[in-house]
Structure 1
Amino acid sequence: MTCPTCSVWWSCPASPPTSGPASGRNGCRTSRWSWCATAADAAALLREQADAGLVRLPVDPEACHAIPLYTETTVVVVHREHLLAAADEVTVAELADETVVWPLDDVLGWPGTPAAPAPVAEYRPETTAEAVELVAASVGVLLVPQSLARAHHRRDLTYRVVTDAPTASIGLAWDRDRHTDLVEEMIGIVRGRTANSTRGRGPAPADKPAAAKAPVKAAGRATPGRDGGRRGAAAPHPGQEAARPLTTAQPRPTPVSR
């Protein structure tokens, strides 16, 4: 999740926050979302309050560690009745005849350079939100990452992917001097460690020894006794005649006729 004009940060407080915490592995609470208008504000928040944050790369390597997470698609925001709205996607060359609105909080750093695809409007709004208002008034078009276009969605506006435009990347960052257990937990999550991973986790509890199994006597197996009977045979029920021992029948002699 990304704020319309800045980086979004989270912290994992020891005490439950007052609103909307979300619990993760080991009870890690991702909450207390904050928005930073500048990279300096973000660095200060990481240094003093937050354990980690989602930031737009690159970051100052002297102040923060960072793990790249994903790259956002760049889109052009236009009025719904604009000619570009009829296309599924556009290229940089198709923006040559357009006027680009370039806000002061731009995160691409591209529209105002010599490589920009179109001329930039003389007036530069302070925020992306104000730039969206100018696009709605048909002053020009706006180039932003797709997440910002979605955050500023309006019924009278739409956006199209610019297939060959520069992009913006998002990463997980934390202060170099605040590498805590919670930060290690977050690093494990974004790197795909499973619940069975042991790095950065406490020692796993020893398994309880399995209880010894008592020997089980085989039922129904009879052994010969001293009295010719069978040991292990079931006792007769009351009123039931006891089973007679089996005997081998002797063949009768055949009479001989004279």
Structure 2
Amino acid sequence: MTGSEETPSFRLAYVPGVMPAKWVRIWQERRPGVSLDLLQVAAADVSGVLRDGGADAGLVRLPVDRTYFSAIPLYTETTVVVVPKDHLITAAEEVTVEDLADEVLFHPLDDVFDWDSPPGEPAFECPATTADAVELVAAGVGLLVVPQSLARLHHRRDLEYRPVVDAPQSSVALSWPEEATTDLVEDFIGIVRGRTVNSTRGRTSAPPEPERGRARTDKPAARQKPAQGRTAGRGAKGRSGGTQGAKRGKPRRRS
């Protein structure tokens, strides 16, 4: 070994709340010789990581700059409000933005929603992260609206969440720099789109037509048995009294 060869790898960035495990498992089954390296990146930073070549593709939250990035939308999340376990909102199955009008709502700096007009009463501080905001909700000083995956990510036994039916929603997509659409990126696109191994673009080809043609021309030759039929006839004749039968009869006449 020269020590200069590198093991091929595919680098996948993903934002908090996104669970790439099912796609990673399929990748490992289809491309066992290419490692998949995961990199968790804050939602606000993932575009910069992809631009700088720190990852080959990313599971990101829309929108992205479509003049630079390609993107395949994957799913849209339910929006929920995180509340203390003893809050009145827990008595309802779902709420509206209007139901939150008199509540103190935190809008952390990494808020993934682009609110036209943030709902609720303004909080006394702006938390730096969603995790910080969850701590404040647990302290009973306000509520937090987030995608459901982030509520699950920061789950606490003293908190609950309820869907907010008319709030903005967050959509997750696979994104990558359009000018860097490599074969490995195409492979991962096939996985997230649910393609089978044989349907992945540029990975399979039909058997050559000439091979099938030669197989057909061989079959008639195998059916030609006139010589075998004549040989079988001579054997039958010998058994029914031919030359071989006469020789077997002479010793009986001498006795």
| TM-score, normalization by structure 1 | 0.69
**Quick one: which of 148, 152, 166 aligns to 2:150?**
148
Task: Rate the CA distance shift 1:109–1:75 in 2: closer, same or farther, 3 A.
Answer: same
Q: Give secondary structure in 1 for the equivalent of 2:47.
A: helix
> Gaps (5+ residues) in structure 1?
11-19, 218-222, 230-258
Count of equivalent residues: 213
Please tell me whether the aligned partners of residues 190 and 200 of structure 2 are also in contact (alpha carbons under 8 angstroms).
Answer: no
1:199 matched to 2:207? The reply is no
The offset of 1:98, in angstroms, is: 0.8
The offset of 1:119, in angstroms, is: 1.6
The offset of 1:46, in angstroms, is: 4.9
Task: Rate the CA distance shift 1:3–1:99 in 2: closer, same or farther, 3 A.
Answer: same
1:123 is aligned to 125
Q: Using the alignment, how far apart are the partners of 1:162 and 1:170 within structure 2?
A: 18
> Gaps (5+ residues) in structure 2?
1-12, 226-232, 241-255
1:79 matched to 2:84? The reply is yes
The offset of 1:180, in angstroms, is: 0.5
Deviations 1:179-229 (A, max 9, x none): 1001111222223322222523254565977697867x9xxxxx9x65996
Q: Using the alignment, how far apart are the partners of 2:26 and 2:53 within structure 1?
A: 20
Deviations 1:140-163 (A, max 9, x none): 100000000000000001111111
Task: Rate the CA distance shift 1:104–1:24 in 2: closer, same or farther, 3 A.
Answer: same
Q: Using the alignment, how far apart are the partners of 2:152 and 2:29 within structure 1?
A: 26
**Quick one: which of 24, 27, 30 aligns to 1:25?**
30
Please tell me whether the aligned partners of residues 59 and 174 of structure 2 are also in contact (alpha carbons under 8 angstroms).
Answer: yes
2:181 is aligned to 179
Please tell me whether the aligned partners of residues 132 and 152 of structure 1 are also in contact (alpha carbons under 8 angstroms).
Answer: yes
Please tell me whether the aligned partners of residues 46 and 60 of structure 2 are also in contact (alpha carbons under 8 angstroms).
Answer: no
1:54 matched to 2:56? The reply is no
Of Structure 1 and Structure 2, which has the larger fraction of its residues in helix? 2
- Alignment identity in percent? 53
Please tell me whether the aligned partners of residues 71 and 169 of structure 1 are also in contact (alpha carbons under 8 angstroms).
Answer: yes
Please tell me whether the aligned partners of residues 15 and 61 of structure 2 are also in contact (alpha carbons under 8 angstroms).
Answer: no
Q: Give secondary structure in 1 for the equivalent of 2:104.
A: coil
Amino acid aligned to 2:96:
T
Please tell me whether the aligned partners of residues 27 and 188 of structure 2 are also in contact (alpha carbons under 8 angstroms).
Answer: no
The offset of 1:36, in angstroms, is: 2.4
Please tell me whether the aligned partners of residues 8 and 54 of structure 1 are also in contact (alpha carbons under 8 angstroms).
Answer: no
Task: Rate the CA distance shift 1:27–1:205 in 2: closer, same or farther, 3 A.
Answer: farther
The offset of 1:56, in angstroms, is: 0.5
Q: Using the alignment, how far apart are the partners of 2:122 and 2:34 within structure 1?
A: 43
Q: Using the alignment, how far apart are the partners of 1:40 and 1:3 within structure 2?
A: 9
| TM-score, normalization by structure 2 | 0.70
Pairing of 1:210-221 with structure 2 (within 5 A): none
Q: Using the alignment, how far apart are the partners of 2:15 and 2:45 within structure 1?
A: 16
Deviations 1:22-80 (A, max 9, x none): 60424375632213235455333354132211011111122211111110110000000
The offset of 1:89, in angstroms, is: 1.5
Q: Using the alignment, how far apart are the partners of 1:129 and 1:109 within structure 2?
A: 19
Q: Using the alignment, how far apart are the partners of 1:42 and 1:8 within structure 2?
A: 18
Q: Using the alignment, how far apart are the partners of 1:23 and 1:156 within structure 2?
A: 38
**Quick one: which of 33, 43, 46 aligns to 2:48?**
43
